């Protein structure tokens, strides 16, 4: 099934349409515009961000059109007929340059660059931000969780408390961040994510007693029996009944796959449960846990408490990106008709970088991430020897002769997607490989070291000159 519910041209902020109409009637409709997508802060007070959402964006971009019903609606809102005629045949005809999904990126980097006429590039702003901000938020959260899970399996159980249909994108992004399974069946079908699940308390309650409930479930799911052990009393009822059922299953040539703990102290209960299972000779029965998990709880269970847990089911906090709940990505104009543009602000960090830019990564002698560099698109990276602080150019770093890589590549052109449709798990494999070269000090949760991103001398000079021009023009 395609991820689509009809044309998406109205999936935008009203002001985009108001501006588009303004450009249309003020002779600007064929002007060329370039916008940058970037964010200003890593989520979760972390040291990096995992970029995600790109393929969803590109796929949905093809549906960014207007039906007759949409045009009637816009007419009722006061839009003019000439502009509505223009929208009738609208499709996005521009080019998009972007870093790959699953790439590790940092604040203020031009992660994606959108080029086209000013109307089309303006109209897709809200839509692009909606998808890229959210999936990057969730992929980053999932990767933080995966990093501390001690190599154990992590599943997404979040649908029930996800933000409505945002759950579909959340499950995909969680998988990009390292989650292996999702409980969300529609997301599983749409994105090719393996689906999994166990049973709810209601299954247990619906039977005369817990043993009957467990036995019946095992009879119906002999290959995939995971018994929820905490409906009445984990250690006095749940685990003993699970052990009885495991013994019955052995007689019929099957094996109990696992038990799940969903309440109480998971460190204490998993150790007790492991002991009881092992005493019954059930060493192969795995322990699954769930209940308000996040990266901090999992890190403590794995690294501090040595809880004998085989798999984590993570829900709400992962799929909502709690407590941040959003990534602060923005979409800012960088050029019109070849003229570089910028926005000034009383806050120097909020001043944007003008012109067409590419993003490069520089590696040190051991192959680790050393610096990221933002260069003007015409610049030959071989001639760039120094990167300057984007706000305080007195600070600089020499990158001469360091191996570097272009991160922003063309991914969409003339209505076509130029990249492969990878499964989320494949994107995670790329991320996992790549992350080995991100030094540990950027990955820790508490006060991570700042990864430095610089600009080329040409870009630094251009920025300074434009600021002067703008101030003189006020």
Scan residues 72-101 and list those touching a second copy (CB under 8 A).
Answer: 73, 77-78
52 binds a second copy (CB under 8 A): no
Q: Which of 62, 50, 48, 55 is nearest to 4 (CA)?
A: 62
- How far apart CA 56 and CA 64 sit, in angstroms, is 12
Identity of the residue, 131 or 407, whose beta carbon is nearer to a second copy in the bound complex: 131
- How far apart CA 147 and CA 278 sit, in angstroms, is 28
Q: Which of 346, 336, 377 is nearest to 459 (CA)?
A: 377
Q: Which of 30, 82, 275, 325 binds a second copy (CB under 8 A)?
A: 325
Sign of the C-alpha dihedral computed for residues 49, 361, 115 and 457 taken in this order: positive
At closest approach, how far in Å is the CB of 369 from a second copy?
Answer: 27
What is the largest distance, in Å, between two alpha-carbon atoms of the chain?
Answer: 87
- How far apart CA 238 and CA 270 sit, in angstroms, is 12
Q: Which of 86, 100, 150, 219 binds a second copy (CB under 8 A)?
A: 219
Q: Which of 140, 183, 270, 294 binds a second copy (CB under 8 A)?
A: 183
184 binds a second copy (CB under 8 A): yes
Identity of the residue, 285 or 327, whose beta carbon is nearer to a second copy in the bound complex: 327
- How far apart CA 319 and CA 423 sit, in angstroms, is 19
63 binds a second copy (CB under 8 A): no
Q: Which of 58, 61, 70, 179 binds a second copy (CB under 8 A)?
A: 70
**9 to 38, contacts with a second copy by CB under 8 A?**
10-19, 21-23, 25-26, 28, 31, 33, 35
- How far apart CA 344 and CA 335 sit, in angstroms, is 14
Q: Which of 62, 107, 117, 203 binds a second copy (CB under 8 A)?
A: 203
Stretch of 70-78, 250-258, 295-303, 364-372 contacting a second copy, by CB under 8 A: 70-78
> Residue 373 pairs with which residues in a beta bridge?
360, 454
**226 to 245, contacts with a second copy by CB under 8 A?**
230-233, 236-237
Identity of the residue, 41 or 458, whose beta carbon is nearer to a second copy in the bound complex: 41
**96 to 135, contacts with a second copy by CB under 8 A?**
118, 122, 125-126, 129-131, 133-135
Collapse the DSSP code of 154 into the 3-class scheme (helix H, G, I; strand E, B; otherwise coil) and give the result.
strand
Stretch of 41-49, 66-74, 378-386, 401-409 contacting a second copy, by CB under 8 A: 66-74
- How far apart CA 124 and CA 115 sit, in angstroms, is 11
- How far apart CA 108 and CA 33 sit, in angstroms, is 20
């Amino acid at each position: 099934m395609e991820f689509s519910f009809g044309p998406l041209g109205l999936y935008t902020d009203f002001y985009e349409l108001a501006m588009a109409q303004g450009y249309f009637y003020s002779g600007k409709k064929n002007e060329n515009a370039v916008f940058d997508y970037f964010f200003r802060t890593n989520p979760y007070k972390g040291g990096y961000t995992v970029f995600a959402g790109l393929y969803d964006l590109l796929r949905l971009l093809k549906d960014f059109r207007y039906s007759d019903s949409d045009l009637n609606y816009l007419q009722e809102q006061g839009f003019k007929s000439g502009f509505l005629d223009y929208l009738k045949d609208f499709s996005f005809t521009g080019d998009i340059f972007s870093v790959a999904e699953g790439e590790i990126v940092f604040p203020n980097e031009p992660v994606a660059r959108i080029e086209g006429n000013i109307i089309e590039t303006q109209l897709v702003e809200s839509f692009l931000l909606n998808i890229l901000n959210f999936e990057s938020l969730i992929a980053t959260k999932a990767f933080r969780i995966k990093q501390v899970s001690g190599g154990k399996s992590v599943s997404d159980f979040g649908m029930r408390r996800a933000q409505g249909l945002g759950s579909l994108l959340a499950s995909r992004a969680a998988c990009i961040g390292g989650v292996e399974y999702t409980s969300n069946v529609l997301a599983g079908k749409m994105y090719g994510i393996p689906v999994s699940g166990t049973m709810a308390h209601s299954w247990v309650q619906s039977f005369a007693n817990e043993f009957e409930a467990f036995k019946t479930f095992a009879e119906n799911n002999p290959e995939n029996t995971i018994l929820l052990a905490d409906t009445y009393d984990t250690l006095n009822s749940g685990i003993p009944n699970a052990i009885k059922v495991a013994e019955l299953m052995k007689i019929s040539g099957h094996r109990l796959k696992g038990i799940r703990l969903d309440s109480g102290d998971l460190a204490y209960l998993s150790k007790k449960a492991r002991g009881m299972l092992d005493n019954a000779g059930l060493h192969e029965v795995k322990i699954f846990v769930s209940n308000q998990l996040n990266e901090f709880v999992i890190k403590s269970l794995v690294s501090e408490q040595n809880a004998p847990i085989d798999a984590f089911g993570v829900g709400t906090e992962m799929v909502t990106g709690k407590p941040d709940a959003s990534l602060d990505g923005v979409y800012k104009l960088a050029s019109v008709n070849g003229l570089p543009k910028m926005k000034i602000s009383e806050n120097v960090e909020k001043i944007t970088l003008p012109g067409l830019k590419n993003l490069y990564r520089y590696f040190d002698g051991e192959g680790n991430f050393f610096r990221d560099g933002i260069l003007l698109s015409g610049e030959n990276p071989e001639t760039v020897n120094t990167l300057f602080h984007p706000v305080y150019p007195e600070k600089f770093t020499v990158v001469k002769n360091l191996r570097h890589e272009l991160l922003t590549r063309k991914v969409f052109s003339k209505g076509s997607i130029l990249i492969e449709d990878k499964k989320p798990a494949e994107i995670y494999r790329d991320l996992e490989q790549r992350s080995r070269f991100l030094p540990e000090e950027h990955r820790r949760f508490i006060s991570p070291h700042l990864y430095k991103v610089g600009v080329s001398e040409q870009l630094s000079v251009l920025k300074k000159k434009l600021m002067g021009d703008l101030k003189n023009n006020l």
